[in-house]
Structure 1
């Protein structure tokens, strides 16, 4: 049985003897890009006097240990590494199953955590969407548990309205709503549910719960409320989103990071480079970087490769191409000529803030939808990774650079007017959690130019 005895009481924030102050359990999952928004929210909520407890994959423990935040780690390094090592993770049809099977062994731990919380202490769970079904499992032993879905990207909120993407498929506006609903049912029946439902329903059966008939509708319906970690100008509320959905903002950091000396020297030594990154969790991008090097050499441009996995890189990089395991994007991106990336929501948001052109090369999950939104904002173009090669990458990059030289920064980029709105986001999160607002500040999303 899990116990909070290992968590120093002072790390839980406000006075633990106050029976009216709920404990906010932030249930996280995924790569570093998934974890970071919850870290920012936990820090902001603690500054407002809230009690918080992070539930994190053990794979991320080193990142959280020095944050000063209360946390409990679940799972094993081997489980997380097994997910990242599976090349099917980046297949748009197979990725959801890989992620879910990697998470299921932790279902019982989430249940035990909720059971170990003091019954007299109110508790709310702020969940990554994939953690919602596990929190719903735990709720049968704690009926008063309030579950709030924290949607990092709009693609996780199902809709039949425009804009509508289903993986790499973008639905034309003329398609009737009845056809769209039928297509979602088909995707559920033949793609998502056969891969995800058996494991979930087996876990529910252990606790005597009825089986779920469809995974994604259950994930959305199990939430008492939900909040978007993105602004309305990026994705406006759709008519079929939950009535309890609360609009938010991107949880971006202030622009105050410091670049590594090697990177600073490289940037100062020549023209702004083109940066390439497939994301912090992508371990199977050797071809991506080989194509990127070919493109840079063909265009005669300097480049920056960003990945924690050096074994994916070409064996010998020329002096005009630098590798970095990581970098603070809020400081780096404004100094780039362009960013080529996978379409993760955090990277997309930072590139929009920097006002630089983007070539989005999506692999799976929400990346296709994010790429489409970048394109509709006029901030870049999309080249699905499955269709990419050096020739197509070179053509897209050359066209984006030429357009930027002729027209200036893309019209949809936020540039210097971009507002992260963390205080406003915290207001939205507190509203979704059902808490009395601890800040009277209000924030309005910036209008599109």
Structure 2
């Protein structure tokens, strides 16, 4: 049995697919991942072949792709690039599992239709899926008419806006590859039976008439890499530090030096050592004091149980890894589903949401006082024992069973 897993986005979109790929391969399936070229090393380390999709995500996010400033141009090319990557990777009967950027997922669905194979949409966060229990995420600058107040009405508006943004682009591409047009592109891409790859404690799904959702738990890629020797030395040299890192995020309204100074001084005001994850925000030391250490990309599964708290952007993967490690969290949300995860860690009592997207010494220090309190640490430890670790395994078994039943079903001819 063969699967093509397609995504276009940051590391938080690719890691879950790598986790699923590892489990599918362990169960005897053949797997190829279509993802941005930035993640060739990650997938190679997982033993999973990569079919590159589109531009490097870092270049696109930082405006380093010439002539790609308009949403319509980017969406049209991403749809076509994902379609081409998936059809090129299929090599015979396959099922397509997709997540990430909406235009890219639309291209993956079109590829599955053209190939005549099953397609499964996956959300990494409950807040992306239509439900009467919660409103949709607001786009930056979006104005909601005052008469639109209920969750269902807000999701209807979300469907209309998605159609206005992407409907023509997606249908133009479908026509170019010989597929009929679709109406209601959001529901077409999401389908009526999506998977939800999120932990049921961290991101619970409430049953709703809108969708038949199967929640599997988060898809975690086991990371066996040792921590760098210099980091091990730093960890052993004193009390647990506070880790601060924003992954594949730039810090809004702050340059690297400003952000670095703010977070380092905030941690120092709490009498703690600081461990900086440089990331796309380019966090760096501001002096030569030995209470600060800077690391690049690192095994968070091994690191987070050894820190006093984690300050991060609120990506689904980082949130789950910190929760699983029992590390209290300060989330400084920037975009997308990050405010949702910030709200969840606050509601669970395992951390707090930072006020605003740009940390200052005073604002981050105030948040750290909350998460470094003994009661927050105790609550984080309690919740850690409830976080599922078998989400990717559950999803792999479900997909193998689903595709097996599909292949064995009698033909309608």
- Whether the aligned pair in 1 keeps the contact of 2:182 and 2:188 (CA below 8 Å) is yes
Specify the alignment match of 2:108 in structure 1. 135
Specify the alignment match of 1:217 in structure 2. 187
- Whether the aligned pair in 2 keeps the contact of 1:83 and 1:102 (CA below 8 Å) is no
Specify the alignment match of 1:415 in structure 2. 384
Cα separation, 2, equivalents of 1:32 and 1:132 = 16
Identify the match of residue 341 of structure 2 among 370, 395, 406.
370
Q: What are the equivalent positions in structure 2 for 1:235-384 lying under 5 Å apart?
A: 235-243=204-212, 245-254=213-222, 256-282=224-250, 286=256, 287-309=258-280, 311-313=282-284, 315-316=286-287, 318-384=289-355
Specify the alignment match of 2:198 in structure 1. 230
Specify the alignment match of 1:10 in structure 2. none
Q: What are the equivalent positions in structure 2 for 1:38-57 lying under 5 Å apart?
A: 38-57=17-36
CA displacement at 1:329 relative to structure 2: 1.1
Specify the alignment match of 1:13 in structure 2. none
Deviations 1:98-157 (A, max 9, x none): 6x85464243344345555779x4321011143431123224533x22110122222221
Tell me, yes or no, if structure 1 residue 64 matches structure 2 residue 67.
Answer: no
CA displacement at 1:49 relative to structure 2: 1.0
Cα separation, 1, equivalents of 2:117 and 2:23 = 22
Match of 1:414, SS state, is helix
Identify the match of residue 166 of structure 1 among 112, 137, 157.
137
- Whether the aligned pair in 1 keeps the contact of 2:35 and 2:51 (CA below 8 Å) is yes
- Indicate the RMSD between aligned Cα atoms, in angstroms: 3.4
Change (3 A) 1:32 1:407: closer
CA displacement at 1:369 relative to structure 2: 1.1
- Whether the aligned pair in 2 keeps the contact of 1:378 and 1:412 (CA below 8 Å) is no
Q: What are the equivalent positions in structure 2 for 1:176-191 lying under 5 Å apart?
A: 179-187=150-158, 189=160
Cα separation, 1, equivalents of 2:346 and 2:136 = 13
Query: What stretches of structure 1 of length at least 5 have no aligned partner?
Result: 1-20, 88-96, 170-175, 438-449
Change (3 A) 1:139 1:331: closer
- Whether the aligned pair in 1 keeps the contact of 2:36 and 2:52 (CA below 8 Å) is yes
Normalised TM-score (structure 1): 0.76
Change (3 A) 1:413 1:430: farther
Deviations 1:145-196 (A, max 9, x none): 211012222222122214x463499xxxxxx997222233445556x55544
Normalised TM-score (structure 2): 0.82
Match of 1:28, SS state, is strand
Identify the match of residue 400 of structure 2 among 414, 430, 440.
430
CA displacement at 1:247 relative to structure 2: 1.9
Cα separation, 1, equivalents of 2:59 and 2:281 = 18
Specify the alignment match of 1:443 in structure 2. none
CA displacement at 1:62 relative to structure 2: 3.1
- Whether the aligned pair in 2 keeps the contact of 1:25 and 1:125 (CA below 8 Å) is yes
Deviations 1:213-258 (A, max 9, x none): 555333313x6x4222123333124314522x22202222457542
Cα separation, 2, equivalents of 1:177 and 1:241 = 18
Specify the alignment match of 1:11 in structure 2. none
Tell me, yes or no, if structure 1 residue 81 matches structure 2 residue 58.
Answer: yes
Cα separation, 2, equivalents of 1:154 and 1:300 = 37
| Equivalent pairs, count | 390
- Whether the aligned pair in 2 keeps the contact of 1:353 and 1:413 (CA below 8 Å) is no
Cα separation, 1, equivalents of 2:172 and 2:381 = 46
Specify the alignment match of 1:108 in structure 2. 80
Match of 1:65, SS state, is helix
Specify the alignment match of 1:396 in structure 2. 367
Match of 1:128, SS state, is strand
Q: Larger deviation: 291-300 or 352-361?
A: 291-300
- Whether the aligned pair in 2 keeps the contact of 1:276 and 1:340 (CA below 8 Å) is yes
Cα separation, 1, equivalents of 2:90 and 2:346 = 48
- Whether the aligned pair in 2 keeps the contact of 1:125 and 1:148 (CA below 8 Å) is yes
- Whether the aligned pair in 2 keeps the contact of 1:276 and 1:341 (CA below 8 Å) is yes
Change (3 A) 1:322 1:165: farther
Change (3 A) 1:374 1:283: closer
